[in-house]
Amino acid sequence: MIEIRDTVIEYGSGTRAVLAVDRISLSVEPGHSLALIGPSGCGKTTLLFSIAGLVRPRQGEITISGEPVTGPRREIALILQNAGLLPWKTVWQNANLSLLLSKEYPQKTAASVLEELGLAGVKGRFPPELSEGMKRRVGIARALSMSPSVMLMDEPLASLDTLTKERIQDLFLQLWLQHHFSLLLVTHDIEEAAFLGQRIAVLTERPAKVKTVVENPGVGDLNYRSTEEFVSIVARLREELER
């Protein structure tokens, strides 16, 4: 379980300190999903980076499986907006990068992951030769190659066209259902939050506080977008954000 308890995060110190996150408390059950939405610059990414162990809270506590997060951990995968691919390495090398850099893991390959994501046919190509959608899938492959128990995603589909975005959202959903990792997604896209988040935390302007948490039990169905429940959740989220 991911537990965020009364977490406060600041940048800088003294008179230059900027309060980014103000006493947020949230939790994600093992194998469940939580989406974070809110105004631009409100502190969503800061909170995500803190869960990843990249930013230390000023006060409060973040734990995973009961252990405090004090730095990066092997069971946590982080997918960023630009996928973070190395342009001089092939799809195969990028997907295996985490394993190659780790002495604690056997030198296995990401062959099954690439096959699962429909990338086996382009494993010898370099990132500049790929479409944006393929680049995002390579980023997913690299994250999955470590068999994480926690998947953190920061606007992973930003700037993609609508159809490509929906195809990869479908892929995320299938992977989450198959691999049973806990999923925490930061997004500005209301429909993306409604499609992938079993619970959706709406945050305030900076410093981020939890305005409300919307329960979304319909998540898990690839046809969810066409249901009245989905339309209702999207409308409610839009209303919460506009308040």
**What's the rounded mean pLDDT across residues 71-99?**
81
> What is d(CA 110, CA 92) in angstroms, rounded to the nearest whole number?
7
3-state secondary structure (DSSP) of residue 51: helix
Would you say residue 39 has pLDDT above 60? yes
Consecutive H or E run containing 184:
strand 182-186
**Band of pLDDT at residue 108, cut at 50, 70 and 90:** very low
Q: Which tokens sit at 140?
A: 């997913």
Q: Return the pLDDT at 111.
A: 64
Is the pLDDT confidence value at 103 over 80?
no
Q: Where in the chain is the domain with CATH 3.40.50.300?
A: 2-75+150-242
Pairing of strands 59-64, 2-11: antiparallel
More confident residue, 109 or 227: 227
Dist CA 216 CA 51 (whole Å) = 22
Rounded mean pLDDT of 128-135? 85
User: For the domain bounded by 2-75+150-242, which CATH number is listed?
Assistant: 3.40.50.300
Rounded-to-integer distance, Cα 72 and Cα 70, Å: 7
pLDDT (mean) for 42-59? 92
**What's the rounded mean pLDDT across residues 145-170?**
87
Q: Which of 75, 49, 61 is nearest to 180 (CA)?
A: 75
- Per-residue confidence at 114, pLDDT binned at 50, 70, 90? confident
Please state, in angstroms and as integers, the Cα–Cα distance from residue 134 to each residue in 46, 81, 93, 160, 167, following that order: 27, 13, 15, 11, 11
Closest by CA position to 29, among listed 218, 197, 156, 202: 197
Residues 6+ apart with CB under 8 A from 103: none
Q: Answer yes or no: is pLDDT of 216 > 80.
A: yes
Residue 221 confidence (pLDDT) above 60: yes
Q: Report the range out of 3-17, 30-44, 151-165 with the highest average pLDDT.
A: 30-44
CB 62, CB 68: distance < 8 Å: yes
